[in-house]
Each structure stands twice: as C-alpha cells, then as structure tokens.
Amino acid sequence: MPAKKKQPVTVVTGGAGFLGSHLTDRLLAEGHRVIAIDNLITGHLTNIEHLAGNENYRFIKQDVTQYLYVPDDIDYVFHFASPASPIDYLELPIPTLKVGALGTHNALGLAKAKKATFLLASTSECYGDPLVHPQKEDYWGNVNPIGPRGVYDEAKRFAEAITMAYHRYHGIDTKIVRIFNTYGPRMRLRDGRVVPAFIGQALSESPLTIFGDGSQTRSFCYVSDLIDGIYRLSQSDFHEPVNIGNPREMTIKQFAEEIIRITGTKSSLEYKPLPVDDPKVRQPDITRAREVLHWEPKVQFEEGIVKTIDYFRDWLARANER
C-alpha cells in the first residue's frame, strides 16, 4: 500500500491582506494546511472570515517584525506582510521599512529553522520610475532612496537582497516574485490605489481624481491570475526574481474613462498635481514567467473589472446598512 502523501504546511505572513487572503484560498484548495500571521495594520479579518472553522486553517495575530515562533513542521513560508499602497506607506513609513527588513529577516529565519521553501512578495516598485520599458528582471531600476516612496521601494529591494543572501549563504530554497499592479475583490476601498479609488468615486458619482495629466501608464492584472503565477513559482526550482503582471498597458486617463463607461456613472474627471516620484510608465516583461512557469494572464480586463466593481458595490451596500 503506498504511503500517504504528507499534507504541506504553509505559513503566510500578511495573511489577512488582499493578496495574502487570496493566496491562502489557493493554498487550501491545493491541499495545504495554512498558518496565517498578520498584525492587521492594513489587513482585515473580513478577508478571512469565510475560513472560520476550517480545520486546515489557523490565524495568528502578530507583528512579523517580532520573533516568529511556530512549533509546527513547515514546508513553505510566503512572506506577504507589508503595507503596499502609497497611502499606507506614506502614513506608516517606519513600519514599512521594519517589515521589509526585520520582518523579512524573521520570516527567512523561520524558513531556515524549518528547512522550508521561502517565497518573497516583492514589487515592481523595485524598478522605481523606470528608464527601461517594458521592465525586465535584469533591469536594476531608477529609485530615489530618500524620496517619500523610498521607504517602500528600498524596503523591498533590501528584502530581495537578504533573500538572495540566505539562498547563497545558507542554501535556503528561495523564490522572489515582483508583483505588478493587481486588482480584484478584497481590496480596501480607500487604500489610495487607483483601482479602488476610481471605482469608489464612480459608484458615489464623485469626480475621478487623476494625478498629473493622466498620461502615465499602468498594467492591471486580475488577482486570480497573479496568485496562479505565484503558486507556480513556489513549485518551481527557479531562484531569480520573476515578474508577474499583465502586460496590457493603458494610461490612467484611459483607465478612468473605462471605469466611467462600465459603471455608467455621471462622474467627471478632476486633475491634481502628480505626487513626487510617481512612476511615468509601468509594464512587465513576462518573458521569464512564460518560459520558466508556463504562465500568462488569462482574465480579460473587462471581466476582471466588472467582478471588482460588483464587489465594491456590494461592500458599499452592506456598509450603508450598518
């Protein structure tokens, strides 16, 4: 009789966040037992309330910049803890730096102690305001280390450096995903990112706020596509950074016009000055993801954005009932 296959045990830091909660759902669907760790500074229990009573799920409220102790045997550590939107890391600059440095160090230490695979959620912000377009993984970036956004950009760049150091020096099985703009259900309505900002303004028929002239570009990836790429990366034997995002590029003004069209709102456009160091272009080169992971995004923009609008419409309806 064949031996029973061992159930993987996985730690997800930032497990109550937008991406961490979706990742948890995918891991549970793949048969993992998940231990989520989150201090709820930007994550929220509503993102994981559907997991209450799940015998394969445990939640620990803790700041990952403090020593991490988990008694269980662990197979994977996914480090997703961090403020991840401009409004968050501008309001929480020190916690952002600490979770990128101390939090990553602690999460790597846990992976080392448990001989677990480690996956770092890094970011396209490592490229800064890029001088190369689209952005490939071998581009070193154009980052202002002392600007207001530097607390996030440099925290993630340090996190990548220490992850590779643990891989090279300690032989830890590490992966690095550079995440480009992602959207979908469970985003916070007022987290400062353009997708929830425009949808929230459209649903309330307020003006959609465009910073600058709206010519700056972004590439939007639906969350299920992103999580699929991340899961594939975790199962690979590849250790260099991998871009995961949707290369379909559009200007912020085009995106605003699409939101107005799809929601049917009477909202107008309102222009404000561009924030300091705001990237002018953002588009992933996903050649590496295609070749190494056999991954590319599948969800079309309109399909994903309709699902996201429906989520926020329901969220606002529930909020008005309270």
Active site (catalytic) residues: 152
CB neighbours (10 Å) of residue 158? 15
Residues 87, 192 contacting (CB under 8 angstroms): yes
Residues 252, 214 contacting (CB under 8 angstroms): yes
For 190-243, give the secondary structure using H, E and C.
CCCCHHHHHHHHHHCCCCEEEECCCCCEEECEEHHHHHHHHHHHHCCCCCCEEE
Q: How many residues are present in the chain?
A: 322
Cis peptide before 8 (omega within 30 of 0): no
Phi, psi dihedral angles at 52 (to 5 degrees): -60, 130
Tell me the C-alpha to C-alpha distance, in Å, between residue 63 and each of 39, 103, 120. 5, 8, 17
DSSP state of 128: B
Sequence-distant (≥ 6) Cβ neighbours of residue 244 within 8 angstroms? 177, 178, 179, 180, 221, 226, 229, 230, 233, 284, 286, 289, 295
The residue assigned the tokens 């759902």 is 25
Phi, psi dihedral angles at 84 (to 5 degrees): -135, 10
Residues 199, 308 contacting (CB under 8 angstroms): yes
**What sign does the dihedral 308-313-314-318 (CA atoms) show?**
positive
